[in-house]
Amino acid sequence: MVADDFAAWVEARGPGLLRLAYVLTGNSVDAEEIVQDALSRALPRWSRISTVGDPDAYVRRMVVNAHTSWWRKFRRRESVMADPPERPGTPSGLAVEERLELWRACLRLPDDQRTAVVLRYYEQLEYAEIAELTGVREGSVRSRVSRGIATLRLELAGESETE
Amino acid sequence: MSDLETLLRTSLEAAADHAPNSGNLLAGARRRLRRRRVLTTSAAVAAVAMVVVPISLALGDGDAEGSKLPVATDPPSVASGWRIESWRDIEVTVPESWGYGTVDQWCADDGKSAKVPVVDRPGLQTEVLCHPIFGYGVRFVDPAVDSDHAPSEIWQYDGGDGYPDGAWLASWSPGPSSDAAISVVAPDRATVQRILDSARRITGTDANGCPSHADADPAAGERLSICRYGGDGWLQQSERLSADDTQRAISEIGHGALVDGSVGCGSSEDTTIKLGGLAVVTLTSECADGNQIALSGTLHQLTKRDLYWALSPGWSGGVDRSVPFPEHLRR
């Protein structure tokens, strides 16, 4: 049954989609928002989507699309993104601090650069795959990633100098 | 992979550990689906409040005789078969046959509209996933959130999942610090070229008589300018009615019951629609009881005919079901 199949798929893949959405948006509320949005669009088409070659990639694309639409529609309301709370047992020290600083800097990137950086380094997609996913030229993807990395490098260097 | 790239990957993976629990996903998705179906059926969301009327115009009760807008020179006409489309402070002309929508929803009706390019303004939600992702049309973009639209040469897409095979593309913006840009995708190079040639920054008013910002008033003329502004004050869409429609609009709007006092609500999310110097309508999600139209210094209950004239073809907003929404929008 389609509904059961979809429920099982969401149970298995939902956490991964939420993780991707969280690194795209930077906060839990918006992450949940865009994944629910994408799933609500996938549900009525599930019988078709589930028969395509890679439904995981298909829905992941929907999440990225939902994120793109979401930032266009709601960016005026966007709230400042908070640092992720430290969890018990999280190791402390310079590496953790550096990681957090990099995460904060990543959240400050323009949306299109952040999306490209996340897809490249979190999802570990090839440039051509990101181009296909986001509908821009591969050269533009490379440019966005490159500009994003350059900005992150500068920001980290700036932080180091002020310490 | 450099040290920074390795650290970035680790950082993103660590951040992802803080993603929310997935327990509510399925229920939330189903709830959204039900809600969207209700909204689609009733064609509605928010509420309509009203604002003031910078008008020197006398409107009779349904009597168009004597209801004349101040006469002034109309802006330059647009070539036959083409129409003006504006967003923020830029305007372009597009073929009259082009519709409205989002360029990534060309397959939404089983591909029936695949060959009809659209004018796409920010704010519309993507409903379906098409292959290729984008169809033909002009997309207005905000360079602050989509920085890939520096002016580009016209180029032809050489295959892939992004655009139709052989599509011609180009981007344009009026300058490096501009607040708006366009991305054009068309089946032929000549159309892209003509659209690019028509693109310009709005100074004063656009060819439909609408200023780029809500602070200024629309141009006066024998034809009514309908100017829609977002909560940030930027122009979202403009239209200029024909002379006949202008007279019909004048005779049909503002016949709702008079309302005492001011609405007293409003928010930064308001959508303001100016009907020339005649009336101003504000749509807001925070004033469910404020469905009114301000006209000649007085507030009236909003009617379906008011909204019929205030909402231009391609209107992409939503109204609460309490709003007297017309059965059909103008096309």
pLDDT digits (tens, 9 = 90+) for B136-191: 999 998 877 665 556 678 888 877 667 888 999 998 988 877 889 999 999 999 99
Q: What does residue A102 show for φ and ψ, rounded to 5 degrees?
A: -65, -40
Output the CA–CA distances (angstroms, integers) from residue A14 to A6, A24, A138, B29, in the order listed: 11, 15, 28, 11
Please give the DSSP secondary-structure letter assigned to residue B256.
S
The interface predicted TM-score (ipTM) is 0.85
3-class secondary structure for B29-76?
A: HHHHHHHHHHHHHHCCCCEEEECCCCCCCCCCCCCCCCCCCCCCCCCC
Q: Which of B170, B181, B207, B190 is nearest to B84 (CA)?
A: B207
Residues 217-236, chain B: which have Cβ within 8 Å of A?
Answer: 231-232
Output the CA–CA distances (angstroms, integers) from residue B19 to A35, B22, B290, in the order listed: 11, 9, 40
> Based on the number of CB atoms within 10 Å of its own CB, is A25 exposed (0-12), middle (13-18) or buried (19 or more)?
buried
Question: What is the Cα–Cα distance from A41 to B27, expressed in whole angstroms?
Answer: 13
CB contact under 8 A, B19 and A11: no
CB contact under 8 A, B123 and A73: yes
The three-point CA angle A47-A48-A54 to 5° equals 105
Span B187-235, pLDDT tens digits: 999 999 999 999 999 999 999 999 999 989 898 888 999 999 887 889 9
Span B44-68, pLDDT tens digits: 222 222 222 222 222 333 333 333 3
> Based on the number of CB atoms within 10 Å of its own CB, is B219 exposed (0-12), middle (13-18) or buried (19 or more)?
buried
Q: B232, B256 in Cβ contact below 8 A?
A: no
Residue carrying structure tokens 């999306």: A115
pLDDT at residue A135 is higher than 60: yes
pTM of the model: 0.57
- Of all residues in chain B, the percent with pLDDT exceeding 70 is 70
Q: What does residue B46 show for φ and ψ, rounded to 5 degrees?
A: -50, -150
Is the minimum CB–CB distance between B16 and chain A shorter than 8 Å?
A: yes
Q: Which of A7, A85, A143 sits opposite B18 (nearest CB)?
A: A85
- The whole-angstrom distance between B9's CA and the closest CA on chain A is 5
Q: Residue A115: pLDDT band by 50, 70, 90 thresholds?
A: very high
Span A1-35, pLDDT tens digits: 566 788 889 999 999 999 999 999 888 888 888 89
Q: B99, B117 in Cβ contact below 8 A?
A: yes
Quick one: pLDDT at residue B149?
A: 57
